[in-house]
Amino acid sequence: MTADWSPETLLAQALGEIEPVYGGVAPPIHTATTYIRSADNSYPMGVAYGRDDNPTSAAPERLLARLENGKQALLFASGMAAAVAVFEGLPVGAHVLAPKVMYWGLRKWLLDRVAAGRLAVTFAALHEPGVAAAALAERTTALVWAETPSNPLWDVIDIAALAAAAHKAGAVLAVDSTAATPMLTRPLDLGADVVMHSATKYLNGHSDIIAGALVFPDDGPLYQSAKTQRHDGGAIIGHFEAWLLLRGMRTLHLRVAAACAGAAAIAERFANDARIADVLYPGLASHPGHSVARRQMRGGFGGMLSIRVKAGQAAAIQTAADVQLWKRATSLGGVESLIEHRASVEGPTTPVPGDLLRLSVGIEAPDDLIRDLDLALGRL
């Protein structure tokens, strides 16, 4: 599709691409690992070997780049693989500025790189005004890593302000936009240099593949470095997973809209509940990042929220044990609603409060989800 169609149309028709041999409207799976050379030793079809090229993965890459207003996208075997490709492109000893509270798996990986002398990392409250600029003034920084809304406290980082501060300091800005998706936020439009997605989550949306993605505004050094890291490390996505990802993306707009509506209803219902100490959701006017979220998120505030149970950690764990409709499971962004006691998952070094339950809202009827959670809280 070359016209300026809406994201919903681009998604529903997967860019309108038609299978060229038989005219199928559903994209096929290409399982070949190697491709034929012509007599002059060239590759006339533009693909050479499966570790670099595959039409099945190229299709969702084109779609994602279009959704993010980018030029290039790369799929990876997981969200972690995508994130690691960005950091591994940095020189040894490079300084990174990252959020104090972020996806715990990547935070642990960064701490391991610090211990090994590979990177230097400063963790700071990047959602607070002036914090990033102050941290960037203290030392030369190669990369600023942001996550917004951040998991699992759902702090909102001002991407445009952070991009300006990073670029003024000579750093590049990478944004993990997994929770927002391109339907709600487009970080490249706000000045980011690369966008990362754990495509396992909302992009696929059905809890049946592991995948990651990076999107770039151009095919410059950042893109070339990540592409080299993917090639050399072999962190490619499988053919079937890429096909499932594209199939899932075709309903992204519908699923995100339903999740946003459900999360907003749940947040409003429990915001003043006597059993709840706090509801962390950017869509609430009481949320510290609400004004920034209204400015940089369009069409909703996401399907993720957290609640802090007033009676404490044991009560939070008991609440998760007593629900019937919510599924007690890690991950987020699927069609089914998930509940999780994050501190138990992240361990003793977690910055997450012990009374916190993370909720990933799916596409079920919001009233059913509210009733199930209300009943579980009522059993305390």
Q: Catalytic residue positions?
A: 51, 103, 176, 201
Alpha carbons 235 and 78: distance in angstroms, whole number: 8
- Which residues, including other chains, have CB under 8 Å from residue 176's CB and lie 6 or more apart? 83, 102, 103, 106, 145, 146, 147, 148, 196, 197, 198
Q: Whole-angstrom Cα distance, residue 21 to residue 1?
A: 19
CA–CA gap between residue 330 and residue 338 (Å, rounded)? 7
Distance in angstroms (rounded) separating the CA atoms of residues 58 and 15: 12
Q: Return the structure tokens found at 19.
A: 């299978």
Q: How many CA atoms lie within 13 A of 1 on its CB side?
A: 20
Cβ contact 183:256 at 8 Å: yes
| Phi, psi (deg, nearest 5) at residue 99 | -65, 150
Cβ partners under 8 Å of residue 178, min gap 6: 79, 103, 147, 151, 196, 197, 198, 201, 202, 333
CA 145 to each of CA 15, 97, 98: distance values in angstroms, whole numbers, following the listed order: 30, 6, 5
Between CA 250 and CA 262, with CA 181 as vertex, the angle to 5 degrees is 85
- Can you tell me the distance from the alpha carbon of 205 to that of 71, in angstroms, rounded to the nearest whole number? 24
Phi, psi of 219, deg, nearest 5: -105, 40
**Which candidate, 225, 379, 212, 260, places its Cα nearest to that of 311?**
379
Place of tokens 């309108």: 16
